[in-house]
Amino acid sequence: MGDQMQVIVEKLNQEPFRKNYNFISFDSLEPLQLLQLLSDVLGEIDPKHAVDIREELPEQTAKRMLNLLGILKYKPPGTVSDLSAFRQGLVTGSKAVIHPVLHWLLQRTNELRTRAYLARFLVKLEVPAEFLQDDTVADFNKQYEELMEAFKNLHKEHEQLKISGLSTAEIRRDISAMEEEKDQLAKRVERLKKRVETVQNHQRMLEIARQLRLEKEREESLAQQKQEQKSQLFHTEQRLQRAQVQLKEMQHMVADSKPESLMKKLEEEINFNSYLVNEKIPREMESKKTSVYFLQKLVAEPAMTQADLTALESEIEEVTAQMNQLIEKRIITYEPADSKFSMYRQQASIISRKKEAKAEELQAAKEEMSSLEKQVEQKNSQAHGLGGSELLTEDEFKQYVSRLRSKNTLYKRRRQEVAEITAEYGILQRTEELLRQRHQATQQQLQAIEEKKGISGYSYTQEELERVSAVKSEMDEVKGQTLDNMSEMVKKLNAMVAEKKASLAPVIKELRQLRQNCQELTQECDEKKMQYDSCAAGLETNRSALEQEVKGLLEECAQEESNYRYINCMKRSLEVQLQRAKEEMKAYVSPEPQERRRAVREQYTRIILEQENLGKKLREKQKVVRESHGPNMKQMKMWQDFEKLMECKRECFLKQQNQAAIGQIIQEGGKDRLVL
Percentage of the chain modeled with pLDDT above 90? 2
> Is 80 exceeded by the pLDDT of residue 231?
yes
Provide the sign of the torsion angle of the four alpha carbons 504, 505, 506, 508, taken in this order.
Answer: positive
For the ranges 6-10, 104-108, 379-383, which has the lowest average pLDDT? Answer: 379-383
Q: Are 455 and 504 a contacting pair, CB within 8 Å? A: yes
Neighbours of 101 (CB within 10 A): 21
Q: Report the range out of 39-48, 463-472, 497-506, 640-649 with the highest average pLDDT.
A: 640-649
In angstroms, rounded to a whole number, what is the distance separating the alpha carbons of residues 652 and 285? 56
In angstroms, rounded to a whole number, what is the distance separating the alpha carbons of residues 405 and 204? 47
Confidence bin at 385 (pLDDT 50/70/90): low
- The burial of 68, by beta-carbon neighbours within 10 Å (0-12 exposed, 13-18 middle, 19 or more buried), is given as buried
In angstroms, rounded to a whole number, what is the distance separating the alpha carbons of residues 348 and 338? 18
> Is 50 exceeded by the pLDDT of residue 337?
no
> Is 80 exceeded by the pLDDT of residue 474?
no
CA contacts within 13 A on the Cβ side of 11: 20
In angstroms, rounded to a whole number, what is the distance separating the alpha carbons of residues 367 and 370? 5
Nearest to 443 by CA among 427, 464, 458: 458
Q: Are 495 and 438 a contacting pair, CB within 8 Å? A: no
Q: Over the stretch 575-591, which tens digit does the pLDDT of each residue have?
A: 888 887 887 777 767 77
In angstroms, rounded to a whole number, what is the distance separating the alpha carbons of residues 258 and 248? 17
Whole-number pLDDT of residue 618: 92
Instruction: Give mean pLDDT, residues 486-498.
Output: 68
Q: Are 359 and 277 a contacting pair, CB within 8 Å? A: no
Percentage of the chain modeled with pLDDT above 70? 80
Whole-number pLDDT of residue 646: 92
CA contacts within 13 A on the Cβ side of 251: 6
Confidence bin at 333 (pLDDT 50/70/90): low
Whole-number pLDDT of residue 80: 46
> Is 50 exceeded by the pLDDT of residue 675?
no
- Look at residue 245 and give its three-state secondary structure: helix
Mean pLDDT for the chain overall:
77
* CATH, range 1-123: 1.10.418.70
> Is 50 exceeded by the pLDDT of residue 484?
yes
In angstroms, rounded to a whole number, what is the distance separating the alpha carbons of residues 71 and 128? 21
Sequential DSSP letters for 161-222: HHHH---HHHHHHHHHHHHHHHHHHHHHHHHHHHHHHTSTTHHHHHHHHHHHHHHHHHHHHH
> Is 80 exceeded by the pLDDT of residue 632?
yes
Confidence bin at 386 (pLDDT 50/70/90): low
Domain locations along the chain: 1-123, 501-589, 598-626
Confidence bin at 241 (pLDDT 50/70/90): confident
Whole-number pLDDT of residue 676: 44
Confidence bin at 652 (pLDDT 50/70/90): very high
> Is 90 exceeded by the pLDDT of residue 648?
yes
Instruction: Give mean pLDDT, residues 27-36.
Output: 80
In angstroms, rounded to a whole number, what is the distance separating the alpha carbons of residues 608 and 611? 5
Residue type, 422: T
- CB-based burial, 397-415: b 16+ in 10 Å, e otherwise: eeeeeeeeeeeeeeeeeee
Whole-number pLDDT of residue 666: 63
SS3 string of 454-508?
A: CCCCHHHHHHHHHHHHHHHHHHHHHCHHHHHHHHHHHHHHHHHHHHHHHHHHHHH
This prediction has a pTM of 0.29
Instruction: Give mean pLDDT, residues 5-14.
Output: 79
Q: Report the range out of 298-307, 429-438, 647-656 with the highest average pLDDT.
A: 647-656
Which own/partner contact pairs does 54-59 have at CB distance under 8 Å and 24+ positions apart? 58/91, 59/91
> Is 60 exceeded by the pLDDT of residue 393?
no
Nearest to 359 by CA among 277, 255, 264: 277
Confidence bin at 475 (pLDDT 50/70/90): low
Q: Which helix (H) or strand (E) holds 223?
A: helix 202-256
> Is 90 exceeded by the pLDDT of residue 172?
no
Q: Are 165 and 632 a contacting pair, CB within 8 Å? A: no
In angstroms, rounded to a whole number, what is the distance separating the alpha carbons of residues 196 and 206? 9
Confidence bin at 4 (pLDDT 50/70/90): confident
Whole-number pLDDT of residue 391: 56
Phi, psi for 340 (deg, rounded to 5): -80, -25
- Expressed in angstroms, the distance from the first to the final Cα of the chain is 96
Whole-number pLDDT of residue 473: 65
> Which residues lie closer than 8 Å to 27 by C-beta, 6 or more apart?
5, 95
Cα separation values, 309 from 75, 314, 322, Å: 18, 9, 20
